[in-house]
Amino acid sequence: MMRPGSLTKQMNRSSKSDKVYEYWQLSYTHKMRSRTEYVRAGKVEQTQAQVAEFKRFKQLVDEWIDLAIEQAKLTEKEDDD
């Protein structure tokens, strides 16, 4: 499973007491809309793995596109000769 975005630990100080609350937040953009989701502490490792898998997928797609462009240029050059 893959998930786009960035997973970060956030901190919030309570206004009633000086206690600091920590929570995890997943932020991403999909279909030109920015979204934020809270991630439970028990799901942090799983979500980190999903985000890492998505980043790897995007990297592979970028490499694939670069190679496709290079191939198209070489094919055009061969056709011109």
Whether the per-residue pLDDT at 81 is higher than 80: the answer is no
Q: Which residues pair with 21 in a beta bridge?
A: 12
Residues 6+ apart with CB under 8 A from 6: 26, 27, 28, 51
pLDDT score for 79: 79
CA–CA distance, 38 with 57 (Å, rounded to integer): 23
Specify whether the CB–CB gap between 35 and 28 falls below 8 A: yes
What would the mean pLDDT of 47-71 be, rounded to a whole number? 98
